[in-house]
Chains A and B, each alone.
Chain A
Amino acid sequence: MKTISNLAAVVISIVTLLTSCGEEKKVRGRIDYDAIKTELNLNEEQTIKFDATVAKYEDMREAIKADESGDRMARMEKFREVMKKQTEETITFLTKEQGAKFTELSKKFSRGRSGYSDEFIAKLNTELGLDSTQQVMLVAVNYAFEKSYVNAHDYYHGNPEAAKEYWNKFDVERKKTLEKVFTDEQFIQFTKLAQEELFAGEHGGERKK
């Protein structure tokens, strides 16, 4: 009987642990649009438009999933583009405050880019005064970084520490290559500008605020 009581205690503890930890039930890979609607406090008209937009862009995500050729990086890029378009369309029927909040939420829910963003590359092109060959090299080096990191996914999947190690290692390689592409002055300036380009989570979603 004592053993049964002990067992019951263990089971109750486990169940308590499971239920207490289970408050955050965001299903992986899916955005909880109901929670977003509540957070944005949409009116009836906005809700109808919001639901229609969600349906439209969910279809587009399904279309991306239909490409089963296995280019993970191309697929992630398409997902980001869809999220960007969805955000642009959604904020047209939201108030300024709601729009700002939704933009923030969509950033939180969409997977970020592990490499330099297009905006950062444009900034480097301008501020470093890169010539056309250097610009092409910068894009190629950044893609090599991104693709190398994404291709290593099977090794770091679900292991943020390993993901960080891979990201940092490929970042070292990226910078070593760019050092050869840029002049000394350009590279010094680049190093300063790239200081904030750090590892931002396994999928790049927690990029710097």
Chain B
Amino acid sequence: MSVSHLWLGLLSSLVITTVCLTGSIYTFKDKIIDVYNYNKVYVSKQATPRLSCDSISSILYSKGYEITSITIPSAPDKSYKVGYSTLASNKLGNFYINPYSGVILGTGDYSLDGFFDIILNLHRSLLISGIGKDIVGISILMFVFMLISGLVLWWPKKWKALKNSLKIKWKARFYRLNYDLHNTLGFYSFLVLLFIAITGLYVSYGWVKSGLIVAMGGQPVLTKETSKEAQEEITSSFDDMLKEMLAVEAEKENRKNTAQVSLNKIMQLTNQKLPYSAITFIALPTEKTPYFIVKKINRENWLGALLPDIIQFNTKGELKKLELFSDKPLNKQFVAISLPLHTGEILGWPSLILYFIVSLVGCSLPITGFIIWWKKQ
């Protein structure tokens, strides 16, 4: 066990360090970009209520913009983010709006996106097209093995030794301190690192994805060998989708003869169905999608996890679809939030910070492990 832990560790160390380091940076992408655009994203909280969507819409219309989407944060010190189309030339754009005054704060500066794209590509494939993803995948498989073998190696042989295995002797000499950092930090971060690694493998390997989905009661990812039952489920889902699309086509016709309900009305209808305070995204109807699509991120659960509920209305304000996260079967819930589960966005700041620290520990394990091996030579 210790020999394979050693050699697999040495083999995968460069990749694991890179993946953990880039993961810990990428975790904070949205937060960093928000801070980078601080003067646009954040506003001073005021005693007066925020302007309604219709007021914002009127203000923008008078300036030559038609809203195509709007993001309404739950935090009172954050601005509205509005997607628009210009009335003059149908040019698309987006900017932040002060929710108290309706003043346009400007377009976000996304110049950091390029940097984060590189970080993400390093994380996923080490910037190597083709084989890179496999190198990362195999290294993560090795990492999962090392986490488990590491736990076995860490496990104290005597009950009395447990106390020492849980502490770091900060005043010890370098090699002893390094040993403690590897063992003890590895133990404390074991579960979270294992979870991050497995959700990462879920993205990389179809068989891991299938295994997890089936374990949660779903059908496996489609292959040539997929069972008849799974095939039938897909046929059924297509039939349901066809009914939905026929309704959409009918709606396109109806829309021509109907006045569109206001955004305030849509907010009111949404809040009736989803009566909780949350960040809300609204996409307005278009020629091809004649529905208001509203997504609210529900945090009213015992963990405070960010769970999306989606609701759709036609232009008359009639409810067309309600997709509650809580109504989905476990496997579909997992698929829906697999990414925030992997990135740490699922619980907001607490999980982001936890994932950041744990990823840094993961990044350090190959280094401290290497030093342990080096000392033994």
- Whether A143 pairs with B245 at a CB distance below 8 angstroms is yes
Complex Cα distance, B138 from A61, in Å, reads 35
* With contact pairs A63-B94, A158-B203, A162-B206 given, residues A18 and B133 touching in the complex (Cβ less than 8 Å): no
Residues of B within 8 A of A29 (CB): 117
The complex places the Cα of A170 from the Cα of B308 at a distance, in Å, of: 27
Q: A14-B14, A21-B132, A68-B71 are in contact. Are A169 and B231 (CB under 8 A)?
A: yes
Say which one of A103-111, A119-127, A148-156, A190-198 lies at the interface with B: A148-156
Kindly identify, within residues 21 to 38 of chain A, every residue whose CB is under 8 Å from any CB belonging to chain B: 21-22, 24-30
> Do the beta carbons of B245 and A60 come within 8 Å of each other?
no
Cβ-defined contact, A162 with B223, below 8 A: yes
* Distance of A140 Cα from B206 Cα, bound (Å): 30
CA distance A3 to B377 in the complex (A): 8
**Which residues from 189 to 229 on chain B have a C-beta closer than 8 Å to any C-beta of chain A?**
203-204, 206, 209, 213, 221-224, 226
Q: Which residues of A lie under 8 Å from residue B239 when comparing CB positions?
A: 173
With a CB–CB cut-off of 8 A, which chain B residues contact A147? 241, 244-245
Q: A10-B10, A21-B128 known; A156 and B293 CB under 8 Å?
A: no
**CB-contacts of B6-63 with A (<8 A):** 10-11, 14
Asked if B126 and A18 sit within 8 Å, CB to CB, the answer is yes
For A157, list chain B residues within 8 Å (CB): 203
Count chain B residues whose beta carbon lies closer than 8 angstroms to a beta carbon of A.
71
Interface Cβ pair total, 8 Å cutoff: 166
Query: Bound complex: CA of A59 vs CA of B94, how far in Å?
Result: 8
User: Is A91 on the interface with B (CB-CB < 8 A)?
Assistant: no
Partner of A21, one of B131, B238, B338: B131
A77→B281 CA distance, assembly (Å) = 19
Known: A59-B107, A60-B93. A74 touches B231 (CB 8 A): no
Do residues A169 and B242 form an inter-chain contact, with CB atoms below 8 A? no
Complex interface bits, B114-157 against A, C-beta within 8 A gives 1, otherwise 0: 10011011001011111111010000000000000000000000
Is B295 interfacial (CB 8 A cutoff)? yes
- The complex places the Cα of A1 from the Cα of B245 at a distance, in Å, of 69
Which of B131, B213, B245, B288 is in CB contact (< 8 Å) with A144?
Answer: B245
Is there contact, CB below 8 Å, between A140 and B246?
A: yes
- Of A143, A158, A165, which contacts B223 at CB under 8 A? A165
Q: Check A69 against B295 for contact (C-beta < 8 Å).
A: yes
Instruction: Give the docked Cα–Cα distance between A206 and B123 (Å).
Output: 25
Residue of B nearest to A77 (CB): B288
B186 within 8 A of A: no
Closest to A157 in B: B203
- Please, which residue of chain B has its CB at the minimum distance from the CB of A60? B92
Given A3-B377, A10-B10, A156-B206, list of 6 further CB < 8 A pairs? A11-B14, A63-B92, A66-B81, A71-B289, A74-B283, A156-B222
Name A's B-contacting residues (CB within 8 A).
Answer: 1, 3-4, 7, 10-11, 14-15, 17-18, 21-22, 24-30, 56, 59-60, 62-64, 66-71, 74, 77-78, 82, 136-137, 139-141, 143-145, 147-148, 151-152, 154-159, 161-162, 165-166, 169-170, 173-174, 177
